[in-house]
Amino acid sequence: MQKEINGLQLLEVLNVHHWTSSTFSFSCLRPDNFRFRSGEFVMIGLNIDEKPLLRAYSIASPNWHKEFEFYSIKVEDGPLTSKLQKLKAGDNIMLRKKPVGTLVNDALLTGKRLFLFSTGTGIAPFTSIIRDPETYEKFSEVILFQTCRFNNELEFGKHTIDGILKDELLSEIVENKLRFFPTTTREPSQYVGRVTDWLKSKRFKEEFGSDLNPLEDRAMICGSMAMLNEFKEICLDKGLTEGSNSAPGHFVIEKAFVD
Ligand code: A2P
């Protein structure tokens, strides 16, 4: 029997993993009868000074999974993440059972290539979407782009991809369709540079065969406000239109995580 307090569900934490000094992920038992679309977010948090403090978090696990996974930054003096990063297996978090968001397949028109552009923990909704078989029914190529400052910040994404490749069913579904494209900005790696700079340079065409275009491409974008604004301009410039749940388009962004 799962507990509820003032309409908020209590979820038991199963696992916590610290990826870097500034990022961690944790998984919880998914509530009974909870439905969501891969890519959506929920409000989660803790009781702090006897009041619930909730923030928007993307569900990083796909909608068929029996566990919820969340990927978070650690902010030293952050009212919520300074406490959340101390979670241990067996602790509880609070959940408002209302999944929402625009980073969903429904908000995009059908297309050929799906680009998932993220910086830092903005990868979270996309680790849900790339594990949803429906994504590969709608798109024949799925490219997950993530820009981080340092190589070790790419580990969460790499680990998710490894998990997909080891999964008997998913590995077959994503075969020759899914590509992870990680880039770093503050230390050398195979691909260097901000995701926005990649889009503006001829390197993009060299790597992916053609520029981002409304005829075949759809894009989802998740990152800081500055990154979203820059991206939106690039997409509009290239002739892509912004989509929403009520009017699907060529690209979607999500502002719920931006302070
Ligand atoms: P950079 O190192 O050039 O600032 P952060 O850790 O600040 O959230 O940034 C995560 C990643 O996003 C970093 O690699 C950072 O690059 C990059 N970034 C920051 N601002 C933007 C932006 N406006 N557009 C694209 N990428 C950005």
pLDDT in tens, 42-88: 999 999 988 999 999 999 999 999 999 999 999 989 999 999 999 99
Q: What is the pLDDT of residue 258?
A: 67
Q: Report whether 60 contacts 70 (CB < 8 A).
A: yes
Amino acid, res. 165: L
Instruction: State whether 78 and 195 are in the same domain.
Output: no
What tokens appear for 174 in the block? Answer: 């994503």
Domain of residue 13 covers 4-99
Q: Which pTM does this prediction carry?
A: 0.96
Instruction: Give me the number of domains the chain comprises.
Output: 2
Q: Is the CB of 194 under 6 A from ligand 1?
A: yes
State which of 99, 132, 147 marks the end of a domain: 99
Q: Is the CB of 233 under 6 A from ligand 1?
A: no
One-character DSSP codes across 31-72: PTT----TT-EEEEEEEETTEEEEEEEE--S-TT-SEEEEEE
Instruction: State whether 68 and 139 are in the same domain.
Output: no
- Residues of the chain with pLDDT > 70, as a percent, come to 98
Give mean pLDDT, residues 229-248.
97
Which atom, in ligand 1's list, is nearest to the CA of 197?
25
Q: Is the pLDDT of residue 235 over 70?
A: yes
Which atom, in ligand 1's list, is nearest to the CA of 194?
26
Q: Is the pLDDT of residue 259 over 80?
A: no
For the segment 110-165, what is each residue's pLDDT rounded down to a tens digit? 999 999 999 999 999 999 999 999 999 999 999 999 999 999 999 999 999 999 99
CB atoms < 10 A from the CB of 149, how many? 13
Q: Is the CB of 183 under 6 A from ligand 1?
A: no
